[in-house]
């Protein structure tokens, strides 16, 4: 924790600068410029960065990211059509043939070494569609429409498959937050392209959430995991798949506050997390603050904002997580030995701060 709280004005300027500096000439946003494993562009992280830049009035930056994403998707057009066709024919396409969750900053697939990244995730593709729909405010170009259709068709074909979650974990499971991202993305594609079949597919995804991902009146991590996960905030903020005033959503937020909030007020990912010890994450605390601001909980928003201000460094730089409130202290040092200190800065943290302050 810093000895002197950094003001929100300092954090806003720092966030805009760090996200801008982390945007490659291609338009991609690097996940973190200083962490050994994060020198790539994630569709999910990048989509949130683009949303945050739109919210802060930096629309040119967001536009460059979406141009990069469109080019990435179109480069994968043949692969997507093959996956959709084989899936329609009843084949289970091997995981290693599915689209990756991250790309090089130039938009290519990465070369894998001995430590293969858990790359099959669907949330980033749904999140990109949602963010793109928010950005364009109108009719997409022909190339953009083709990219949107390709991604939507890919999601329709694959959404029922297990994949890795937001945290690149539990690849053998279905995840509620991933389903919500898919539903939001398909709804966006239906609007962008005036294709109601994508809206119908989104409704099917929402029905799966309602049928299999609610326990005790609250949304849970997945059909096979009754824990609460902080990424479940996304079901309402920003995706709006469920209203923030839905009793199940209110119960989910209450569980997050009760079970995932650390003694100092930061928000952890989920109970049992051991990544760098499982301490609170900057972006999750800001994400909760964003949600609480939108629902009119001024005290909750102020508390989240103060926590983020307390845990940024004196220059306004925000890491991925802190490490001084671990759930399991024995797991901090092994991760440091493996990959070095936690990612600092993490662009996604800065994006969530901007959205906490300016996002709708």
Residue 64 has a pLDDT of: 98
Residue 248 corresponds to which tokens in the numbers above? 């199940």
Active site residue 357: no
Angstrom distance (rounded) from CA 334 to CA 277:
9
Residue that finishes a domain, picked among 206, 233, 259? 259
144, 320, 344, 357: which is the annotated catalytic residue? 320
Residue 114 above 60 pLDDT? Answer: no
Helix (H/G/I), strand (E/B), else coil: 219:
strand
Active site residue 314: no
Residue 295 above 50 pLDDT? Answer: yes
This prediction's pTM: 0.97
Nearest to 44 by CA among 215, 181, 241, 191: 181
Residue that finishes a domain, picked among 235, 259, 283? 259
Q: pLDDT tier at 258 (50, 70, 90 boundaries)?
A: very high
Residue that finishes a domain, picked among 208, 236, 259? 259
Instruction: Answer yes or no: do 144 and 249 share one domain.
Output: yes
The CATH number for 247's domain is 1.50.10.10
Instruction: Answer yes or no: do 116 and 15 share one domain.
Output: no
Angstrom distance (rounded) from CA 351 to CA 56:
10
Instruction: Answer yes or no: do 249 and 330 share one domain.
Output: no
133, 144, 153, 165: which is the annotated catalytic residue? 165
- The reply to whether omega before 345 is within 30° of 0 (cis) is yes
Radius of gyration of the chain (CA): 19
What domain range is 288 assigned to? 1-34+265-354
Residue 50 above 50 pLDDT? Answer: yes
Active site residue 96: no
Instruction: Answer yes or no: do 166 and 243 share one domain.
Output: yes
* Residue with more model confidence, 42 or 139: 42
* Phi, psi dihedrals of residue 29, rounded to the nearest 5°: -100, 125
Residue 345 parent element (H or E): none
Residue 332 located in a structural domain? yes
Instruction: Answer yes or no: do 271 and 174 share one domain.
Output: no
Instruction: Answer yes or no: do 253 and 270 share one domain.
Output: no
Instruction: Answer yes or no: do 79 and 160 share one domain.
Output: yes
C-alpha dist (Å) from residue 222 to 10, 134, 180, 247: 38, 27, 11, 18
Domains held by the chain: number: 2
58, 146, 168, 328: which is the annotated catalytic residue? 168
* Phi, psi dihedrals of residue 41, rounded to the nearest 5°: -105, 115
Q: What is the mean pLDDT of residues 118-142?
A: 95
Angstrom distance (rounded) from CA 360 to CA 13:
19
- The reply to whether omega before 238 is within 30° of 0 (cis) is yes
């Amino acid at each position: 924790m810093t000895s002197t709280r950094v003001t929100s004005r300092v954090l806003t300027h720092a966030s805009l600068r760090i996200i801008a500096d982390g945007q490659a000439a291609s338009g991609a946003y690097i996940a973190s410029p200083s962490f050994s494993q994060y020198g790539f562009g994630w569709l999910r992280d990048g989509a949130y960065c683009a949303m945050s830049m739109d919210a802060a009035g930096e629309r040119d930056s967001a536009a460059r990211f979406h141009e990069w994403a469109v080019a990435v998707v179109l480069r994968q057009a043949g692969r997507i059509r093959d996956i959709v066709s084989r899936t329609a024919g009843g084949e289970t396409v091997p995981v290693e043939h599915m689209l990756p969750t991250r790309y090089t900053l130039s938009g290519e697939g990465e070369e894998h070494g001995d430590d293969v990244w858990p790359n099959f995730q669907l949330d980033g593709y749904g999140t990109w569609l949602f963010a793109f729909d928010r950005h364009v405010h109108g009719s997409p170009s022909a190339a953009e429409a083709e990219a949107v259709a390709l991604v939507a068709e890919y999601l329709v074909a694959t959404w029922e498959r297990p994949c890795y979650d937001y945290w690149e974990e539990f690849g053998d499971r279905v995840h509620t937050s991933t389903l919500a991202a898919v539903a939001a993305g398909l709804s966006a594609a239906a609007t962008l392209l005036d294709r109601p079949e994508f809206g119908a597919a989104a409704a099917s995804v929402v029905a799966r959430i309602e049928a299999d991902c609610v326990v005790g009146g609250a949304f849970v991590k997945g059909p096979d995991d009754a824990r609460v996960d902080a990424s479940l905030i996304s079901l309402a903020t920003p995706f709006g798949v469920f209203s923030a005033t839905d009793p199940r959503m209110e119960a989910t937020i209450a569980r997050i506050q009760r079970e995932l909030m650390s003694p100092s007020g930061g928000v952890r990912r989920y109970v049992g997390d051991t990544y760098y010890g499982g301490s609170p994450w900057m972006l999750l605390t800001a994400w909760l603050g964003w949600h609480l601001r939108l629902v009119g909980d001024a005290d909750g928003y102020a508390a989240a904002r103060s926590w983020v201000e307390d845990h940024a460094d004196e220059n306004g730089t925000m890491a991925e997580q802190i490490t001084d409130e671990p759930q399991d202290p024995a797991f901090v040092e092994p991760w440091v030995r493996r990959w070095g200190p936690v990612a600092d800065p993490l662009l996604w943290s800065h994006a969530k701060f901007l959205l906490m302050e300016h996002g709708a």
